[in-house]
Amino acid sequence: MISKVFRLHASGALLALLVACAPRATPAVHAQAIPPPAASAVPLSPAAQLARGGARLTAGDYAAAERDFRALAASTQADAAALGLAEIYVTTGRYAEVASLTAPLMAREPGRLAAALWTARARARQGDVDGAERLLVGLKDARARVELGELLLQQGQRAEAERVLMSLVEDYNNDRITESDPDGMTSVGRAAQLLGSAHDANDAFNAAERAGSVSARTLLYRADLFLEKNDPGHAEEVLADILVMNPNQPDALVALARTRLAQALDFDEAERLSERALKVNPRLASAYMVLASIALRDEDLELAEERMRLGLQSNPKDLGLLSMRAAVRFVADDKPGFLAAKAAVFQVNPKYSELYTILSEFADWEHRYDEIIQLTREAVALDPEDGAAYGELGMNLIRVGNDREGVAALSRSFAIDPYNARVFNTLNLYEKAIAHDYVTVEHPPFRIRYRKDEREILERYVPDLLARAWAALQKSYGFVPEVPIGVELYAERENFGVRTGGLPETAIQGVCFGHTIAAMSPKYESFNLGMTLWHELSHVFHIQLSRGRVPRWFTEGLAEYETIVARPEWVREQDPDLYQALRAGRLPQVADMTHAFTRAEELNDVATAYYASSLILGMMVQHYGMSKMTEMLRLWGEGKGTPEVVQTALGHSPVELDQEFHQYLEQRLARYATQFVPERRAGRIETAQANVAKNPNDSRNHLRYALALLQVKQMDAAKAELGKALSLDASNADALFLQAELEAHVAPDRAIVDLRKLIAAGHDGYATEMLLGATLGANDEAASRVAFEAAVRFDPTQAAPEYALADSYGKAGDQLDEIGALTKLAGLEQHEPKVYRRLLRLLDEKQSDPAEAVRVGEAAVYADVNGFTTHLLFGRALARTGDKKRAIFELESALLCDAAPTELVEAHRVLSALYRSAGQLKKAAEHTRIAQKLEQAPAREAAP
């Protein structure tokens, strides 16, 4: 396309780019703010005061900078000071005041250009795009041309915009802009970005930084580039550079809020950053858009509308906010309102296909994948060069099982924009891993994808499990989903992450797209495959019945409930976490329970949200019946809101349902009211620190700050805060417990004394006994066991003391007690293969109750599909009950798993005996022959 910085890259060039764009060639060198001079009776010269004002402006001290600039109104530096004030006004949202300030400068040099730029920026931020455009037309300055090009694109005037933006490229190619010109190269980089050449934009920004540019303008542009290409990690690095220089830069704060949402859906932090930006600039439309998007994800449509209204007051033509208004009407199933909001967007920009990308983002949040496909088809029809829309179309086509069209759409997206990380990663997955390492097999109504080397073992269990789940769920809901249902099992977490979201990082085990399930396979990770697949298949029914409109708390809770019905051991045991959340006021009302997922302070909060939701749905099914749950799904599918759904189906208001649930919880969690439960919730470290500053004499504030510091591994600071807590209140049981916890490894004797004092003072409970047992440890095995047994009595739902007791009993040779502890553990730890293996081994050795061993084996195979020992011992148990057919099946499964030759010998010997007793002498002889060969193999290997 162009000869120097700009160049067309062959698709192979992307192989070097694992994420959107290459990082900056050199790190930014931060400009040092000019410190104010020391206090002096001698007044500053106008030049010095102007410099001080500029330094304060750069550092984000806008009020002080404004005082400096205002003081220069009648000086020789008046024009420069007026331009400084204009920048402050635009930055802080006083847009209407800019024109009167800059008008006198528009007619004279040298301030005319800068005055036009700041006036145009102020007008654009108020929605006066035409007025801004008139000010910029004809200006030769690179900054003016790139901003004019951006305004033209916002109005859908692509051809005119490209002409203006290409003039910057031509200037670079003809050396009118050189790589020693930081502002010029920044403008060239932004022009490249707007023209769709991400790699060249990155190169130009690198050149700008090498030339000395560390301006917020340069860094904001490149942060936007990284966000555009789904690379929030590099965006955060760039934004950190800005906020080091100026912690009050409002556009950077909003961009960082967007980054937090893209990285981790951290709603609280994104909201906090946006509100910080609004304190600087109360009219910043982009901040209101972030806040509106959070409210919409929180299912608070009224708040989303209010936030959009405030933003549109500032800029009634902001395309992002207008698109958000359409998204709210879309989510509300308000078709007339949606069409009107959509028309308002196209009135500003008839070619604004990005509207559909924004709509797709919120349709995805609601599982409305079929509608995303429809929306993105409209986008690419409107703009056949919208690479992002083709990417969304492709991602969602494969989500609903249409791989052929999906990959074609992704390929089209890649051809337009080879620097979209999600598109590149997904194409790479399909063209390399799936094409070579995976196979798709029809098991109607399922279409199952296995990794080829796992197919043989997984195919023995997965189709049967899915068929049983399918039959049970059809009966439960009285509904048959559209088929086929895709079930995809990925051995590698990176591939699973790319398949589900386009990026390799993910912490989940499974996901449902309404027509397709994707999950990890158990090749490299230990987890309960059966529980995961049953849970995700439940979502197929929920999503299709509700047409994707089911709230997250309801679908997650109902899927959890379905797994518990399927197998009672498939239940979470998180009563302590739930009690902590309830005590801390972190548990939302039932109808707003989705907030427990979106507003998680800690990673464990999400698991607690799943657990709380499962209890809500368990209570609802118990009190109202399963048919009412189905009715609620259908009502959501009709477009009704949650309050109406609850009232119509259950005959109660959401408030009454919440009261009912809290009564249920009071009974369930009553045991914690009679024991000491230490404070474990730290909250955000910024909040804890602020609370200490606000009330430094509150011992509890120091304790929570100590807990927060421990979370970020600041041990010395945490100990200091703990000391302050105890100095303020020496009887603070929570602080004393934390002190004992910190002492346990370095001064166990002192910790034991402290814990026994706590118990004597009436602060006994599960946590105290667990810590005491762990601290006593091997030095006093008997006392340690007594403590762990006490912990079990305080809370029989927790696995930790049963682990400790099983280990203690095992060391002591108390086989019956060890079996008892492991049996309880097997009911609590559904994801842990080692528990099942040890229990099966002990039951095999005991051989007194083969039926119990079979019951354990039936649960164990789903947690240990690839476990040789589990299949072997389960098969032996089945053989002892006389179930030869199933015994042979399990032993054949064992032979498909990794095992040592001596272990394989045992499996072949047992199989030989089983086949012989079944009259299948040929197969018996074959397994005998293999066993003999394996027994002789080591000797042959050792021979010279």
Residue 19 has pLDDT above 90, yes or no: no
Which H or E run includes 380?
A: helix 369-382
CB burial string 702-740: b at 16+ within 10 A, e below: bbbbbbbbbeeeeeeebbebbebbbebbeebbbbbbbbb
Name the pLDDT band for 849 (thresholds 50, 70, 90): confident
Residue 733 has pLDDT above 80, yes or no: yes
* DSSP 3-state of 738: helix
Give me the helices (H) in 829-900, please. 833-846, 850-863, 868-880, 884-894
**What would the two tokens of residue 711 be?**
């979370």
For residue 214, the model assigns a pLDDT of 75
For residue 592, the model assigns a pLDDT of 85
For the stretch 353-362, pLDDT in tens is 999 999 999 9
For residue 904, the model assigns a pLDDT of 95
For the stretch 432-482, pLDDT in tens is 999 999 999 999 999 999 999 999 999 999 999 999 999 999 999 999 999
Residue 71 has pLDDT above 70, yes or no: yes
- Determine the Cα–Cα distance for residues 595 and 608; give it in Å rounded to an integer: 12
Name the pLDDT band for 941 (thresholds 50, 70, 90): very low
* DSSP 3-state of 210: helix
Region 374-383 average pLDDT: 96
- Determine the Cα–Cα distance for residues 834 and 850; give it in Å rounded to an integer: 20
The counts of H helices and E strands in the chain are 50, 5
For residue 41, the model assigns a pLDDT of 53
Residue 37 has pLDDT above 50, yes or no: no
- Determine the Cα–Cα distance for residues 31 and 242; give it in Å rounded to an integer: 10
Name the pLDDT band for 680 (thresholds 50, 70, 90): confident
Residue 690 has pLDDT above 50, yes or no: yes
Name the pLDDT band for 841 (thresholds 50, 70, 90): very high
- Determine the Cα–Cα distance for residues 312 and 319; give it in Å rounded to an integer: 10
- Determine the Cα–Cα distance for residues 128 and 106; give it in Å rounded to an integer: 18
Give residues with Cβ within 8 angstroms of 807, minimum separation 6: none
Q: Are 247 and 240 in contact (CB under 8 A)?
A: no
For the stretch 780-793, pLDDT in tens is 999 999 999 999 99
Region 858-884 average pLDDT: 96
Chain centroid, CA 797 distance in Å = 29
Name the pLDDT band for 938 (thresholds 50, 70, 90): low
- Determine the Cα–Cα distance for residues 295 and 287; give it in Å rounded to an integer: 13
Residue 331 has pLDDT above 80, yes or no: yes
DSSP secondary structure string, 143-159? HHHHHHHHHHHHTT-HH
Least Cα distance to 861 among 888, 885, 840, 883 occurs for 840
For the stretch 388-440, pLDDT in tens is 999 999 999 999 999 999 999 999 999 999 988 899 999 999 999 999 999 99
Region 755-775 average pLDDT: 96
Q: Of 154-158, 469-473, 500-504, 551-555, which range is least confident?
A: 500-504
For residue 506, the model assigns a pLDDT of 83
**Sign of CA pseudo-dihedral 511, 514, 516, 522:** positive
- From its phi and psi, is residue 548 left (phi > 0), alpha (psi between -120 and 50) or beta? left
Residue 873 has pLDDT above 50, yes or no: yes
Work out the number of other CB atoms within 10 angstroms of the CB of residue 885.
9
Which H or E run includes 663?
A: helix 654-668
Region 491-496 average pLDDT: 95
How much of the chain, in percent, has pLDDT values that exceed 70?
95
For the stretch 202-216, pLDDT in tens is 999 999 999 986 789
- β pairing state of 510-512 and 438-443: unpaired
Residue 5 has pLDDT above 50, yes or no: no
Which H or E run includes 517?
A: strand 516-520
Q: Please list the residues that pair with 486 across neighbouring strands.
A: 447, 516
Which H or E run includes 629?
A: helix 626-637
Residue 588 has pLDDT above 80, yes or no: yes
Residue 4 has pLDDT above 70, yes or no: no
Name the pLDDT band for 26 (thresholds 50, 70, 90): very low
Region 656-676 average pLDDT: 95
For the stretch 232-281, pLDDT in tens is 999 999 999 999 999 999 999 999 999 999 888 889 999 999 999 999 99
Q: Are 187 and 222 in contact (CB under 8 A)?
A: no
For residue 940, the model assigns a pLDDT of 43
For residue 42, the model assigns a pLDDT of 74
* DSSP 3-state of 478: coil
Name the pLDDT band for 604 (thresholds 50, 70, 90): confident
More confident residue, 910 or 10: 910
- Determine the Cα–Cα distance for residues 336 and 342; give it in Å rounded to an integer: 10
* DSSP 3-state of 925: helix
Region 121-141 average pLDDT: 95
Name the pLDDT band for 942 (thresholds 50, 70, 90): very low
Region 915-930 average pLDDT: 94
Residue 6 has pLDDT above 70, yes or no: no
**Sign of CA pseudo-dihedral 379, 385, 389, 394:** positive
Q: What is the pTM of this model?
A: 0.88
For residue 591, the model assigns a pLDDT of 85
Least Cα distance to 3 among 209, 208, 187, 174 occurs for 174
Task: Report the chain's mean pLDDT, rounded to a whole number.
Answer: 91
For the stretch 43-60, pLDDT in tens is 899 999 999 999 999 999
How much of the chain, in percent, has pLDDT values that exceed 90?
84
